[in-house]
Amino acid sequence: MKKRIFTGAATALVTPMNEDFSVNYERLEGLVKEQIEAGIDALVICGTTGEKSTLRYDEHLKVIERSVIAADGKVPIIAGTGSNDTVYSVELCNDAEKIGADAFLMVAPYYNKTSQEGLVAHYSYISDRVNKPIILYNVPSRTGVAIKPETYKELSKRENIVAVKEANGDLSSVAKTKYLCGDDLDIYSGNDDQIIPIMSLGGIGVISVLSNVLPKETHELCKAALDGDFAKAGALQVKYTGLIEALFSDVNPIPVKEAMNILGLGVGPVRLPLYPMKDALKENLIAKLKEVGAF
């Protein structure tokens, strides 16, 4: 078995902003420490939820570096370094490694929409040129291309390609990936509404948006599944269903940042082209936060 990055819940952390849309690095460090104190198992920095797409290169690296410093080795820091430009992604990985990232989360190339053979070539090229472990990220609703189980099988032969964040919404595909790859590729849920279904098929945790708001609870949900208590885990999955739906009622990370601000966590606005959610959606979000006792 390959070296495992984490089991349980990793937060796909938001990037806090000041009101002028500059990155609030002081608050970022605070969030990292608060997440760790709440028992989170790992942190993903500069993913989709971290507004990677609108961070400049220097900001991207500084957000990773400040997160590494704040975490102080207590949990793995997984840096979002995927791109639709293969060579650019290698450069970003190498720079992120120099400042202390423990692993890389690498989204499938978006917009270019390469073939399955192209995906193998893309990830293989990167794998040959980086030293830290790689988590593949399959989110076809955003990228326009899906990584197929057979492609996972080919990529899982590489020692430093160790896991996948699966957000394709297709449980049959997850089952086939587990069947083909076995212990050569760890599977994390990339959808908060499918944490327990995916873990019941052999997944070992989640890379979560929900845990920005409920880190302790998301950790406990995953722990119940890892302990084999699927009755408890399933009940918790159902309990948070309404809140999860509200957190995805607008484009991520618009609702989760709104929720965190409602809870007094001070993460500021989203950057354009993202735009604040409508009042009706915000009211529903507040109701669902109250429903689970978040405040």
Active site positions, annotated: 137, 165
CA distance 150 to 154: 7
Longest pairwise C-alpha distance within the chain: 49
Residue 50 contacts residue 14 (beta carbons within 8 Å):
yes
Give the DSSP per-residue string, 235-269: HHHHHTHHHHHHHTSSSTTHHHHHHHHHTT----P
Closest CA to 112 of 145, 149, 151: 145
Residue 114 contacts residue 147 (beta carbons within 8 Å):
no
Q: Which amino acid, 268?
A: G
Beta-strand runs (E) in 119-248:
134-138, 161-166, 186-189, 205-208
